[in-house]
Amino acid sequence: MEKIGLIAGNRRFPILFAQAARDKGYSVVAVAIRQDTSPALKKIVDKVCWIGLSEFARMSDFFKREGVSKIVMAGQISPHRLFSKEVIRNKEIQNILKSIQDKKADSIFGAIAKELEQGGFELLSSVTFMEDFLPKAGTLTRREPSASDWEDINFGRGIAKEIAYLDIGQTVAVKHKAVVAVEALEGTDNLIRRAGRVAGKDVVMVKVSKPKQDPRFDIPVVGLNTVKNLLKIGARCLAIEANKTLFIDQELSVGLADKKGLSMVAV
């Protein structure tokens, strides 16, 4: 049975990837990050190595011992950890960070990818085996976006593509063609909460891929938590980019959105 390596971040994306890979007949061996990766992962993969964020070298050693040549990165590492003592005090990580011009997501992940490739590994697309989680274009819920929703969606898409091009974030919240909140390092859930504090209900959230998206990392993802947070602030609509956004727990999310009157569309 062919082995595939998994660098597992937080939430359910790594678990779903591991399940999909095993369904395809692969043996999955994973590196899990303490304080981020779900303990539930160990029930899905064939072998797991838990490391601290500062133990980068152990990851390569583990994959080499397991005879792994192909690796997938799935799930995030909590952004605030970039400024933690474990990163600041670690010489290996600091050398990687010093080798890049800035601390944008693409710059950091690109440097990590380069390190892995120099170690003899091939970093595959994050959506390998995950095609069923990429919604095609169309309305996902019973409620269609209204005319005013579409005005905000089309307005928001242009703004979102611009910030994605600059690698600031991939999501914006808009209301009546006003930009309410722009995603940065804090992530989508915090963006939604901030949008609710600023503009109250009837916000429209738009998430896109980057114009030059590297499929190996930082794929746009939404899921049940996204929908729950949007409902908490009384949002009107969620728009995602079709064929390029992972939708985790789509069936449950659509059911909840239908019950509460939130429209969701892939464009």
Q: Are residues 117 and 145 in the same domain?
A: no
Q: Are residues 87 and 175 in the same domain?
A: no
CA 177 to each of CA 25, 172, 199: distance values in angstroms, whole numbers, following the listed order: 48, 11, 12
| Residue numbers of the chain with a pLDDT score lower than 70 | 79-84, 86-88, 103-106
* 189 domain-assigned: yes
Q: Are residues 143 and 43 in the same domain?
A: no
Q: Are residues 181 and 203 in the same domain?
A: yes
Q: Give me the pLDDT at residue 82, please.
A: 67
* 129 domain-assigned: no
* 260 domain-assigned: yes
Q: Give me the pLDDT at residue 1, please.
A: 74
Q: Are residues 41 and 151 in the same domain?
A: no
Give this prediction's pTM: 0.89
In three-state form (DSSP H/G/I as H, E/B as E, the rest C), the secondary structure along the chain is CCEEEEEECCCCHHHHHHHHHHHCCCEEEEEEECCCCCHHHHHCCCEEEEECCCCHHHHHHHHHHCCCCEEEEECCCCHHHHHCHHHHCCHHHHHHHHCCCCCCHHHHHHHHHHHHHHCCCEECCCCCCCHHHCCCCEECCCCCCCHHHHHHHHHHHHHHHHHHHCCCCCEEEEECCEEEEECCCCCHHHHHHHHHHHHCCCCEEEECCCCCCCCCCCCCEECHHHHHHHHHCCCCEEEECCCCCEECCHHHHHHHHHHHCCEEEEC
CATH code, 89? 3.40.50.20
* 247 domain-assigned: yes
* Boundary (domain end) residue, out of 74, 94, 123: 123
Q: Give me the pLDDT at residue 186, please.
A: 87
CATH code, 194? 3.40.140.80
Q: Are residues 238 and 261 in the same domain?
A: yes
* 96 domain-assigned: yes
Q: Give me the pLDDT at residue 89, please.
A: 72
